[in-house]
Structure 1
Amino acid sequence: MFQRKMMRALCFVLLCALILKSSLARSSINSPLPNPEFKINSANHQNVGTCAFTVRLVTSCSSVAYTRDQISISFGDAYGNQVYAPRIDDPSTMTFERCSADTFEVYGPCTNQICYMYVYRSGYDGWLPQRVEVYGSNTEAVSFDYNDWIPADMWYGFDYCSPYAGGAARSSKSTMK
């Protein structure tokens, strides 16, 4: 009887450890990462005005009051279609204020389902985005949860284009807030 209880307790502890390890691995996969290899594909922008995208950037309430930093974004699909929006910031209008959402109309090549999103920040103020959402006419809405300070002078974000990435951006209008 004692051995059976010990085996059950041991199995329970191992099961809990496995679940904890799995959830920790999943959370690190779904966290933004720096990508020093990421490059803007300038050859891909020959049809720049083809499709319109609405990009909504939600700034965390834990961010600085506002940032004067230069903010750029790039997103795309698994087929090499890349949308690049340089300098979406505008310090004169106080974009990216704490606890706010800023919406931009961005034009670029049409994409299939968007599976990567990178943000580039240059400056000294810092910026903590909570979420970046992208809406396009030819693709489902997608949301990337950052909740992390964007490092200076490097592309920082998510790439779920690889089938081995282990996760996916939340995709569907029901996930948008």
Structure 2
Amino acid sequence: MAAGSAEMVARELPRQNQVLAKSWPSAEIAAVETTNAAEMLRMIPNHPWLHVCEPSSQFPTQPAAGMLLDREAPQRPLGLVELGQISLDEAEFCYLGQCATAADEPCAAAVSLPAALGFAGFTHAIGTLWEVDEDSAVAIHSDVYADLFTDHFDTDRAAYALHNAVRQLRAHYPDEPSRWSAHVHIGP
């Protein structure tokens, strides 16, 4: 399942969504315009794979304040506390495409949104520790999905796919670690 905008699908897709459409054309789209947070909570347990195209927010010093879907009013956001109240027994893979981070004071007990999703039940979670530029996000996303979607979707290669994608971006921008060092995989 992919959380994103049906309106954007009808028009020209944003670059990240183009990668998703190419790699995972059978994904069920849960559009912002037609799917509220409560419906998303009912849908997520029925889908082992989740790609969030919408903005997500993390507050490392207050992990419970994290938002899987950080929606603007009048839509209600979907927070980690709500996600923690549903069964994620079948949750296998989650990719956060637009993860922003609040500027908090440094804290030894900080927890990232991908780590919180791993704790909530996703076997594999990919995201960032801070917001990265769109070009870098799309490059990583494209390379990860190109590796994962070969003959079939193999989430057991998620860490390897992210590692290779980050190394490739790092080779292009060795003096700009903010472009590649934020990407993380949580899971085996």
With normalisation by structure 2, the TM-score equals: 0.30
More strand by share: 1
Say which one has the larger Rg: 1
* Greater RCO (CA < 8 Å, at least 6 residues apart): 1
More helix by share: 2
With normalisation by structure 1, the TM-score equals: 0.31
